[in-house]
Structure 1
């Protein structure tokens, strides 16, 4: 997993799924206690790997 940042500065964690070439976003580095995200938990922007820093 890799930590990335939204343009608002919020931290999200990214896992790359190479078997399907998709990315999955989490709110913590711990998969077991983390929620899958589609939007930034801080500003609500749609998460896109190309727009994260």
Structure 2
């Protein structure tokens, strides 16, 4: 696609970076909430041992 003008490449780069930021924030939030779940499960297991 060498016939595209530079403004189209700029818009494409901005759109791609926005999509990457959204995807990375989704992955970060997924791992952030996944690390808080084993603490709750370990507390439940300790309560079941009692």
State if a TM-score over 0.5 links the two structures.
Answer: no
The normalised TM-score by structure 1 is: 0.15
Normalized per residue, the structure richer in helix is 2
Normalized per residue, the structure richer in strand is 1
The normalised TM-score by structure 2 is: 0.16
